Amino acid sequence: MLGWDNATMLPENSGEARGAQLAALAEVCHDIITQPKLGDLIAKAESEHGVLDDWQQANLREMKRAWQHETAVPADLVSAISHACHESELFWRKARTENNFKEFLPYQEKVLALIRESATAKGEAMKLSPYDALLDQFEPGATSAMIDGIFDDLANFLPGFISDVMGKQAQEPAPLEITGFFPSGAQKSLGKTMMEKLGFDFTRGRLDESTHPFCGGVPGDIRLTTRYDEKDFLSGFFGVMHETGHALYEMGLPAKWMNQPVGEARGMGIHESQSLLVEMQITMNLDFLTYAAPLMRSAFDVDGPEWSPENIYTHVTRVKPSFIRVDADEATYPAHIILRYRLEKLMIAGKLEVKDLPEAWSQQMQQLLGIKPDTDANGCMQDIHWPDGAFGYFPTYTLGAMTAAQLVASIRKDIPNLGSFLRKGEFHPLFEWLGKKIHSQASRFSSPDLLKHATGQTLNSALYKEHLKSRYLQ
Amino acid sequence: MLGWDNATMLPENSGEARGAQLAALAEVCHDIITQPKLGDLIAKAESEHGVLDDWQQANLREMKRAWQHETAVPADLVSAISHACHESELFWRKARTENNFKEFLPYQEKVLALIRESATAKGEAMKLSPYDALLDQFEPGATSAMIDGIFDDLANFLPGFISDVMGKQAQEPAPLEITGFFPSGAQKSLGKTMMEKLGFDFTRGRLDESTHPFCGGVPGDIRLTTRYDEKDFLSGFFGVMHETGHALYEMGLPAKWMNQPVGEARGMGIHESQSLLVEMQITMNLDFLTYAAPLMRSAFDVDGPEWSPENIYTHVTRVKPSFIRVDADEATYPAHIILRYRLEKLMIAGKLEVKDLPEAWSQQMQQLLGIKPDTDANGCMQDIHWPDGAFGYFPTYTLGAMTAAQLVASIRKDIPNLGSFLRKGEFHPLFEWLGKKIHSQASRFSSPDLLKHATGQTLNSALYKEHLKSRYLQ
């Protein structure tokens, strides 16, 4: 709640007071979870495993996982990381603006050294490789062995695919421009209408504005944010749809296990699968747009051929390689992720040093996207993740996209007339399926097992490639 | 922050999630402050008292006070009170609507019995009478011996005074009505302008809306709320002025002692003195209104004789006894408080039982205000305080009003041309004085000592009576 407030409501000079509150809460939480007796209690519970039902066993497993992450790293290292990341993030903001990688280098080196140390400690405690221990923080059960295979397959596929798509799109007429003035009030009103249609419960959640959109709050009180560009309606619209995917996951978590570790959403990859499923699979979709385009026209009192479902769809499915991940289209986005995954894995393993990052970045980008960043600011310094110490997070974006495609492939089998539901704006069958297979399962299974229970198989890159080919080449 | 959010932002069905958060925080705070080692640490610090400077000594005293209040009452009694008050408040809402005192009686009796028990335990631990121990929660250092004298003096003065004022006002022309439509946006804008003029720093605070206005947040991030009646501009305006007085106190607390017990605002009486000083003494004042009336006219694009400073002033200083405390004018308000103070003191002492409350209420009201409540709903059931277990709180309202009058008497000596500053909208000299004498002193002294340091004498009802006579009879 304090994080949400920080992004939406906090007066500009109240950051210090908020920082003190967050630090105090973090300290209290750390003290609670690192109490000496907790290890004994967990061990005792494990020895009585047989009397627990499967949810209780999963809850114990998640308790142990949280406890391991919190206790594996000595308190002074945790504190050193926190300070180094804070400092590094400050210098990163400045250095990125000035495109000065050299100035930033020592800060990133310090962060990396500390994260390596932490990853090694976590790995030893959890019997995982250092990088897999970092992964486990964000995507429990995922391993680099599994991701390597999937991402390598995708890396082989993408360059040719992107080139084919661009060739095809070059032959087709460009979409009509969708310009105008779209008042944020009308955007918000349409966004809220669509959120409600999708199942968002405004008696247990809100929609507000922040610079960087996110879905926060707690189950029972979901706080979703967006930003409005009054010249570009579509980016805000799909942003709200994306966050609504996150929100509906949180809203669908089992009430029975609320505030218990097993009752929390499974990792970031599954979370991202829910947002991308709504954004990329369901709403960035001609069936859905057939339903939504008239609502858009009426919301802004506009009309014309540019507002046809087909034109909007053509608009949002244009593909072109670019430097910046957050601006990338659906087809080129995974290349940005594979690049980062490969480089951070090498960095954690000690096989790539920060000083060699610009060159390695440039090489990977040319290999995967056929372009070379014009500056470090538009290259290896564009993201906040590494300056902030968040190694092991990047792969979850593409794991999420692939998981979404795999889920939708199963959903289309179970709900053969999904398209006609979407054209009528009926989302109930879709979210009933997701509620049953994903939302209500919370952290009962590891991410791979959750997906296997839901679709009958673990993550399969073929289904994701199918989705991309069918959308962009047919 | 969660309390502010609860009143301003919380979705209607998110109360359960919020309740769980607040309960968890309360439990953590309770666990921290009742750690067995704390008593030893306090005793050890007291034995080394000599090495502490006066602020540190005061900080230790406040730590001990907080610790005593938290540890004096056994955990099961704290929990029983919390449950009984929650239940009683629920039934009170229903019973008040239905004017059914009999149905409510057993709930209030249960609350009273538990509060008596708690007051006795606190009194024993702090060597105070049970009622004084309750007082100490809200107004540290105040005692019923001191309040008795002041309130009795006031009780002797008020009936004749009120009758004189009403006689005088009956002879004068009634104020012109101030009617119209006052859009909440324009009210908010004017309120913010005035808040800034008074010194509210919007980079460290906000103004929002809630059903019951309050000043919340933390030093460094003050969250003030109000409500707007679009037919009655004045009530909202003075409401904002009132809360701004609270806010400027919080904003003026010493940064050096932030988050330390001694760095917190002194009790509720001093807090109320700051809000009433701004509302009743400074802004409900002809000098101030001479400055503010043109701003009001321009804010709502209105004009006419009803918008003269004199008419507005006459409007807000009309006196008439009525049943409901929160609607009472400045002159009759203290009678409502004296009544409640006398009755709650008897109840805690076991000399008045809840079943006899309606009769006692009626007698006191006739004696003090010359009127008799038409119903219990408009009598002893009108306030949330007793159903909620808040005994010992009521006197702080009138102690605040008296303190405000006493402070302003000193301020007028130190700043002889205060009136001309107010007519020009210059508030700097006033708040410099308050900052130095009150705000920056935080909890360094007890309430009586703070007032003595600021004005040279402890609470003196003569100055308050002077204020009332000069405003209403001259």
pLDDT at A24: 87
Q: How does residue A86 score in pLDDT terms, banded at 50, 70 and 90?
A: confident
Chain B positions touching A10 (Cβ under 8 A) are 221
Higher pLDDT: B106 or A19? It is B106
Question: Which of B17, B28, B206 is closest, CB to CB, to A9?
Answer: B206
pLDDT at A19: 85
* Angstroms from A196 CA to nearest CA on chain B: 14
Quick check: A103 pLDDT over 90? Answer: yes
pLDDT at A378: 96
Question: Which of A2, A205, A259 is closest, CB to CB, to B20?
Answer: A259
pLDDT at A423: 98
Average pLDDT score, chain A: 95
The domain at A139-474 falls in which architecture?
Orthogonal Bundle (1.10)
Q: How does residue A99 score in pLDDT terms, banded at 50, 70 and 90?
A: very high
Point out the least confidently predicted range of A49-58, A200-209, B16-25, B99-108. B16-25
Q: How does residue A337 score in pLDDT terms, banded at 50, 70 and 90?
A: very high
Quick check: A49 pLDDT over 90? Answer: no
Residue pairs between chains A and B whose CB atoms are closer than 8 Å: 66
> Known catalytic residue: B279?
no
pLDDT at B219: 86
**What mean pLDDT is predicted for residues B144-150?**
96
pLDDT digits (tens, 9 = 90+) for B404-425: 999 999 999 999 999 999 999 9
pLDDT at A23: 84
Quick check: B19 pLDDT over 90? Answer: no
**What mean pLDDT is predicted for residues B357-381?**
97
**What mean pLDDT is predicted for residues A23-32?**
88
Point out the least confidently predicted range of A47-51, A99-103, A415-419, B58-62. A47-51
Average pLDDT score, chain B: 95
In chain A, which residues touch B (CB < 8 A)?
A: 1-2, 5, 9-14, 16-18, 20-21, 28, 32, 201-206, 218-221, 259
Sign of torsion, CA A267 A273 A276 A282? negative
* Angstroms from B260 CA to nearest CA on chain A: 12
Whether the complex's predicted ipTM is more than 0.85 is answered with yes
Point out the least confidently predicted range of A80-84, A205-209, B123-127, B310-314. A80-84
Fold of the domain spanning B140-474: Neurolysin; domain 3 (1.10.1370)
pLDDT at B373: 96
Give the residue extent of every domain in chain A.
139-474
pLDDT at A304: 95
For chain B, report the end-to-end CA distance as a whole number of angstroms: 45
**What mean pLDDT is predicted for residues A35-60?**
95
Q: What percent of chain B is modeled with pLDDT above 90? A: 90
CB-facing half-sphere around the CA of B443: CA atoms within 13 A = 27
Q: How does residue A454 score in pLDDT terms, banded at 50, 70 and 90?
A: very high
